[in-house]
Structure 1
């Protein structure tokens, strides 16, 4: 039974990078409950992993995932942000980042940090790497 849940989010310019990351870490991720924003989730589903999809980010998916973090339902969040782009839902993104800080939820915003987040969860949960 999967008892550890992580959320995966990627801005449009980073979705391909997220799919590559998921493929590279498939063996760890298959042991976790995956939550994702809508469009990111549809990309991840193409890898064969099961993903619970929330709304797309601009339609409130970031806020839904932030609520899960505030409720203590997530082990971590991987959010490949586009730091150079402008996003209409930037207030939701900032709120998500703040919620992670307030509730001490691990948050990775790039592949290098995401790798260590996954390795840490895997070690803590006894998942073979």
Structure 2
């Protein structure tokens, strides 16, 4: 990875609850210019949807969230191998793996990792990535 911000490959984790998966996929499409220059790590189903929708993006699908994918993302955070976490949550649906979600957001806070749980805050992270590459 180059020291120049214009050459930086951002490492971004993209995660979404079931009711938010299509929203995240659409949002990535709206920001393809940024994600075309990023290494994306995503939990199982979301990663598969991203690969199907945008086969040219560098997506590494991990395990499904409840089957360990959330922990894999957590490990990447602890190893400081991510530059941002985008996790589109569904606050109105029950979350059977709520503990995993809380662990991810806690780790992002502990490691001072920029994170977003909604499109509006995710847009701020993407804007910063886009501005840094100018």
Same fold by TM-score, threshold 0.5 exceeded?
A: yes
Q: Which residue of 1 aligns with 2:115?
A: 107
Q: Which residue of 2 aligns with 1:63?
A: 71
What TM-score do you get using the length of structure 1 for normalisation? 0.92
What TM-score do you get using the length of structure 2 for normalisation? 0.89
Find the aligned partners of 2:51 and 2:123 in 1 and give their Cα distance. 20
The aligned length equals 126
Q: In the alignment, is residue 22 of structure 1 matched against residue 51 of structure 2?
A: no
Do the aligned residues in 2 keep the contact of 1:38 with 1:53 (CA within 8 Å)?
yes
Matching residue within 13, 20, 33 for 1:7: 13
Do the aligned residues in 2 keep the contact of 1:75 with 1:121 (CA within 8 Å)?
no
Matching residue within 88, 95, 104 for 1:96: 104
Runs of at least 4 residues off by over 4 Å: none
Task: Give the deviation of 1:119 after TM superposition.
Answer: 1.4
Find the aligned partners of 1:70 and 1:101 in 2 and give their Cα distance. 11
Task: Give the deviation of 1:60 after TM superposition.
Answer: 1.1
Task: Give the deviation of 1:88 after TM superposition.
Answer: 1.7
Task: Give the deviation of 1:122 after TM superposition.
Answer: 2.7
Find the aligned partners of 2:9 and 2:16 in 1 and give their Cα distance. 23
Matching residue within 53, 56, 61 for 1:53: 61
Q: Which residue of 1 aligns with 2:4?
A: none
Considering only aligned residues, what root-mean-square deviation do their CA atoms show, in Å?
A: 1.3
